[in-house]
């Protein structure tokens, strides 16, 4: 699900908050990409409305009937900078900051730095994610036209990425298990994150709709 949220603007990404995403009813642009007349009572919009015929040719759970509805899919932070993506980015940074700073004295930050120094194998996990991302990027046709030339390498890259990721999990299985035990033993950072995320969401919505402005999810 996380990987699918990084799809490009021409693809369908994960609909993270379905069916709550339906709470936003309007698109900023119609099916022809003409800007719709703003509604004074609406402050948060989806980017555009779906092309009805195209969507109704999709899988049954994606079909939308007789009327177009707003384009409600979510795209990753690397692909656009709209309201929901900013929320994911800032919220993720806040959760990481809480974890690094708790308990007081940045104990987790010291543990993390010691892990990197004592066991450089941690880098395998990041390399695996980078390879998987590169495999997906071979599909692009817009901003990076040279990447499709790597299309024949897509399946090998994907296989290598999955293999490295599995190898990383095997190497770090004890550390992963220990981390899960630590989280369950002292859930304070997790609970703090559950409080901080809604607060950040509220602040972002208020900030990007200040002064009667319109925001795009």
Residue 164's pLDDT is: 94
pLDDT of 71 over the 70 cut = no
Task: Look at residue 144 in the predicted model and tell me its pLDDT.
Answer: 56
| pTM attached to this predicted model | 0.46
- Distance CA(180)–CA(185), nearest Å, equals 9
Query: Can you tell me the distance from the alpha carbon of 34 to that of 92, in angstroms, rounded to the nearest whole number?
Result: 34
CB atoms within 10 A of CB 39: 11
pLDDT value of position 128: 92
Residue 31 near residue 51, CB atoms below 8 Å? yes
Contacts of 18 (CB under 8 A, 6+ apart): 72
Q: Give dist(CA 113, CA 98) in Å, integer.
A: 16
| pLDDT for 167 | 93
Mean pLDDT of the region 180-196: 87
pLDDT band for position 9 (cuts 50, 70, 90):
very low
Strands (E), the chain: 27-29, 44-48, 215-216
User: Which of 54, 14, 12, 8 has the alpha carbon at shortest distance from 148?
Assistant: 8
**pLDDT at res. 75:** 56
> pLDDT tens digits, residue range 80-115?
667 777 787 788 889 888 888 887 778 888 887 887
C-beta of residue 68 within 8 angstroms of C-beta of residue 25:
no
d(CA 7, CA 140): 10
């Amino acid at each position: 699900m996380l990987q699918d949220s990084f799809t490009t603007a021409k693809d369908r990404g994960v609909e993270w908050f379905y069916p709550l995403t339906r709470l936003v009813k309007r698109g900023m642009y119609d099916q022809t990409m003409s800007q719709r007349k703003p509604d004074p009572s609406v402050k948060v919009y989806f980017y555009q409305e779906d092309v009805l015929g195209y969507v109704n040719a999709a899988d049954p759970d994606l079909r939308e009937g007789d009327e177009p509805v707003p384009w409600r899919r979510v795209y990753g932070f690397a692909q656009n900078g709209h309201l929901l993506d900013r929320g994911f980015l800032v919220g993720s940074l806040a959760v990481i900051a809480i974890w690094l700073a708790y308990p007081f004295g940045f104990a987790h930050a010291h543990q993390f730095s010691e892990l990197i120094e004592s066991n450089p194998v941690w880098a395998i996990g990041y390399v695996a994610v980078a390879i998987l991302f590169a495999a997906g990027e071979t599909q692009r046709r817009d901003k990076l036209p040279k990447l499709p030339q790597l299309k024949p390498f897509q399946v090998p890259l994907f296989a290598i990425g999955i293999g490295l990721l599995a190898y990383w999990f095997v190497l770090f299985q004890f550390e992963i298990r220990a981390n899960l035990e630590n989280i369950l033993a002292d859930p304070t950072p997790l609970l703090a994150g559950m409080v901080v995320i809604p607060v950040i969401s509220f602040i972002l919505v208020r900030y990007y709709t200040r002064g009667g402005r319109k925001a795009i999810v």
